[in-house]
């Protein structure tokens, strides 16, 4: 199935408190989305239509809060941002890892609150990959977990934006470094090689979709749009940003049943077409 999908007109607005410049980063540049990562996911109502609004991403106001490590070391760790919709029934869990360099993240918490969210720092733990900072996030107006993919993408970009601002060395390790970082990644990922899609049954009522691809702004929103455009429901999952890659695991169903093999193939083909399609619109020629 190689049907052209409509582009979602989203953008990210950044307000740099250290200067008077405002700028907008487009979240979607073409009809198809690219990227897979390890971000944790959210519940989406069936046949939900995503709006074409603008995602406003607050920026932290102080550069001191995230400074907790030596950015001059030879080895720069891989930044990871995980959005988890499965582990807590009442809250969206966000995990941030950047070796042992992250501090209290108070500015990041403040920036997330400016999105209309309640943010509680749930836990901090150490392992061989570094310091893991966990946050439990709910909507301030309802006290429930975040379900809107546009807000989830705003959460992800807010965290990455603050990470790049206070740890400039992370810019070269993130795909977002090309979009709004101080230093773009030194290596470029071949989307055709990096993209992997698999679907398997996960019980009689749902299937597990796994997508891995090159990361970019707006990827999470676009993935959900592609899935729901063919009437497949997204129930839960996770979305992970891992350096230059995005890795998504979604529990999906069709009419409250696992996807049959032909529909699995249609979904996989639609995602693969979207993720590998060049961002340049044919109409521009």
Query: What's residue 186's pLDDT?
Result: 86
61-90 as b/e, with b when 16 or more CB fall inside 10 Å? eeeebbebbeeeeeebbbbbbbbbbbeeee
Query: What's residue 57's pLDDT?
Result: 55
Four-residue CA torsion sign, 228, 88, 58, 78:
negative
Q: Give Cα separations from 102 to 82, 209, 221 (angstroms).
A: 15, 32, 27
Neighbours of 41 (CB within 10 A): 27
What single DSSP character describes residue 8?
P
Q: What is the pTM of this model?
A: 0.73
Query: What's residue 103's pLDDT?
Result: 78
Residue 253 pairs with which residues in a beta bridge?
A: 233
Neighbours of 17 (CB within 10 A): 12
Query: What's residue 58's pLDDT?
Result: 56
Please compute Rg for the chain using Cα positions: 18
Query: What's residue 74's pLDDT?
Result: 62
Domains, the chain, with CATH or none: 78-178 (3.30.70.260), 189-273 (3.30.70.260)
Q: Given its phi and psi angles, is residue 135 left (phi above 0), alpha (psi -120 to 50 degrees) or beta?
A: beta
Please list, in sequence order, all residues whose beta carbon lies within 8 angstroms of the beta carbon of residue 32, skipping any fewer than 6 positions away: 5, 222, 226, 273, 274, 275, 276, 277
Q: Give Cα separations from 3 to 19, 210, 273, 274 (angstroms).
A: 44, 21, 9, 9
**Would you write out the chain's pLDDT as a tens digit for each of its 285 residues?**
333 333 333 333 333 333 333 333 333 333 333 333 333 333 333 333 333 344 555 555 443 333 344 444 468 899 999 999 999 999 999 999 999 888 778 999 999 999 999 999 888 988 887 889 999 999 999 999 999 999 999 999 999 999 999 899 999 999 988 877 778 898 888 888 899 999 999 999 999 999 999 999 999 999 999 999 999 999 889 999 999 999 999 999 999 999 999 999 999 999 999 998 655 444 444
The answer to whether the beta carbons of residues 157 and 217 sit under 8 Å apart is yes
Query: What's residue 180's pLDDT?
Result: 73
Write out the H or E segment, with its range, that includes residue 250. Answer: strand 245-253
Query: What's residue 249's pLDDT?
Result: 97
Q: Give the CA-trace dihedral at 40, 36, 46, 10, to 10 degrees.
A: 100
Q: How far apart are CA 140 and CA 124, in angstroms?
A: 23
Pairing of strands 55-56, 11-15: parallel
């Amino acid at each position: 199935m190689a049907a052209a999908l409509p582009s979602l007109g989203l953008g990210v607005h950044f307000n740099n408190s250290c200067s008077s410049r405002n700028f907008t980063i487009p979240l979607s540049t073409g009809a198809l989305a690219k990227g897979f990562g390890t971000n944790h996911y959210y519940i989406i109502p069936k046949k939900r239509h995503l709006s074409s609004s603008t995602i406003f991403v607050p920026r932290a106001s102080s550069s001191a809060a995230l400074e907790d490590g030596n950015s001059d070391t030879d080895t720069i760790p891989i930044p990871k941002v995980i959005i988890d919709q499965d582990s807590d029934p009442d809250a969206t869990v966000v995990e941030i890892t950047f070796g042992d360099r992250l501090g209290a993240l108070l500015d990041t918490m403040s920036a997330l609150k400016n999105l209309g969210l309640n943010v509680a720092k749930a836990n901090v733990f150490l392992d061989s990959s570094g310091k893991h900072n966990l946050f439990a996030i709910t909507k301030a107006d309802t006290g429930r977990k975040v379900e809107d993919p546009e807000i989830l993408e705003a959460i992800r970009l807010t965290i990455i934006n603050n990470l790049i601002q206070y740890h400039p060395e992370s810019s070269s390790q993130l795909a977002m470094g090309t979009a709004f970082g101080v230093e773009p990644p030194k290596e470029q990922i071949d989307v055709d090689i990096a993209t992997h899609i698999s679907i398997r049954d996960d019980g009689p009522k749902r299937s597990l979709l796994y997508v891995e691809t090159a990361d970019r702004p707006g990827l999470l929103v676009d993935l959900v749009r592609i899935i729901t455009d063919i009437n497949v429901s997204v129930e839960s999952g996770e979305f992970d940003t891992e350096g230059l890659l995005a890795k998504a695991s979604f529990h999906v169903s069709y009419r409250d049943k696992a996807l049959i093999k032909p529909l699995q193939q249609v979904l996989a083909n639609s995602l693969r077409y979207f993720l590998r399609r060049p961002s340049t619109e044919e109409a521009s020629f």
